[in-house]
Amino acid sequence: ERRAIIIEGKEEALKFRTDAEAEIRERRSEVQRTEQRIANRQENVERRATNLERRERKLSDKEKTVSELEHSLTELKAKKLTKLEEIGQLSMSDARNELMYSAEQEIEHDLAIRYRDFEEQARAEANEKARNILALAIHRFAADVVSEATVTTVQLPSDDMKGRLIGREGRNIRAIEKATGVDLIIDDTPEAVTLSCFDPVRREIARLAVTNLVSDGRIHPARIEEMVGRSEKEVSELIWKSGEEAALEVGVRGLHPDIVRLLGRLKYRYSYGENVLQHSIEVAHLSSMIASEVGANVKVAMAGGLLHDLGKALSHEVEGPHAEIGADIASKHSVAKAVCTCIAEHHDDVMSSTEAFIVSAADAISAARPGSRRDTAENYIKRLQAWKKSGAHLTAWRSATLFRRAAKCA
């Protein structure tokens, strides 16, 4: 048994030795292969380093050659320029300036010719288009004309009523005139009395009050004050209703209540015998039609047309041109700036926007119609011819503006 154990130990020792020798041989082989790879890599690195040094030397030589060539070229150019200046007796700076001046003159000449041709073409097209636009606007919108003087006549059932309106020692007529601010004229006109006042709103209040007093039959100072108060309230309601209806008719919404009331007051205002509210509605429609034809902002033109004479509602109370008064009031009541510009500029010679020019043209067209205002047919023809030219100017101005924008973009 002892012998068997010894033999087994020897066999295991032999096997361990054999395995260890095999592993050592394998590791030696691996080390040799690694050393060979390192040697190959080192050889490649040395070869690349050699090639890189060769390329760097070539690049350095080329840079040196290029530098020498550039230096030679600079010297050659300087010699040539000096020679040219000696031959032409003109410095390089002078030659450059001469060339630039010649080019500028040629370009300016070409631009002048092109601009003249464009201007002539635009003017010809503008005249034709202006005639068509104005004719179309006038044809599409035709409004009735309402004229009014500074007096109002009230019919009476009989001449006996005149004495009752005068009252004992004239107390009734004095009460009426004091409460309304209107002159009550009682003359020989049969069955009628006349109300005279430059303020049409006061005249309307007086007309309603006198009419109601005559119908009621009870005429004395206390009753007169009561009837005048009722008439003021009724006229105030009519003013609001008229302003609201005017805004709805032309499609202008969102106006401040104070603006609506001032607009309604224009129903009782007359300019050259023409009703200002009806004129404003007509200008709004004409402005809308013209704006749609020329591609302007229809809403701004329409609102500007409706409100262009807003200042006339207060022109007898506030100093200044009605255009400035109207623009100031509109601005204070949050009306769009573009619309305020139309109001302020509708009587100016120079407008800052297309819509302002349109409102001004529409205002003139409305006022120039025969019968709308107390004027002669001869003056109407002259005004229409003048505004025909203005219409052409509007189209030409818009065309020139588009041309300048296109030129800037180019």
| CATH code for the domain defined by 251-387 | 1.10.3210.10
Distance CA 204, CA 238 (A): 11
Contacts of the segment 115-119: beta carbons below 8 A, 24+ positions apart: 118/403, 119/396, 119/400
Q: Which of 63-77, 107-121, 160-174, 273-287 has the lowest mean pLDDT?
A: 107-121
**Angle of the 298-307 helix axis to the 354-368 helix axis, nearest 10:** 50
141 pLDDT exceeds 70?
no
Task: Give the per-residue pLDDT at 367.
Answer: 76
Q: Which of 99-103, 194-198, 241-245, 260-264 has the lowest mean pLDDT?
A: 99-103
Task: Give the per-residue pLDDT at 134.
Answer: 57
Q: In the predicted model, what is the mean pLDDT of residues 29-56? A: 88
85 pLDDT exceeds 70?
no
403 pLDDT exceeds 70?
no
Alpha carbon separation from 177 to 209, 291, 292, 297 (Å, rounded): 11, 47, 50, 48
Q: Which of 184-188, 310-314, 374-378 has the lowest mean pLDDT?
A: 374-378
Nearest Cα to Cα of residue 307 among 264, 274, 369, 350: 264
Q: In the chain, what are the domain boundaries?
A: 151-237, 251-387
pLDDT above 90 as % of the chain: 11
As its CATH architecture, domain 151-237 has 2-Layer Sandwich (3.30)
Task: Give the per-residue pLDDT at 83.
Answer: 73
DSSP string covering 81-101, please? HHHHHHHH---HHHHHHHHHH
pLDDT digits (tens, 9 = 90+) for 340-399: 999 988 887 777 888 888 888 888 887 766 555 555 444 555 555 555 555 555 555 555
**343 with 302: CB under 8 angstroms?**
no
303 pLDDT exceeds 50?
yes
151-237 and 251-387: identical CATH topology: no
**Angle of the 221-250 helix axis to the 276-294 helix axis, nearest 10:** 10
Mean pLDDT of the chain: 80
317 pLDDT exceeds 80?
no
Task: Give the per-residue pLDDT at 241.
Answer: 92
pLDDT above 70 as % of the chain: 80
Task: Give the per-residue pLDDT at 146.
Answer: 46
Nearest Cα to Cα of residue 289 among 365, 230, 340, 215: 365
Task: Check: pTM over 0.85? Answer yes or no.
Answer: no
How remote is the C-alpha of 79 from its chain's centroid? 62
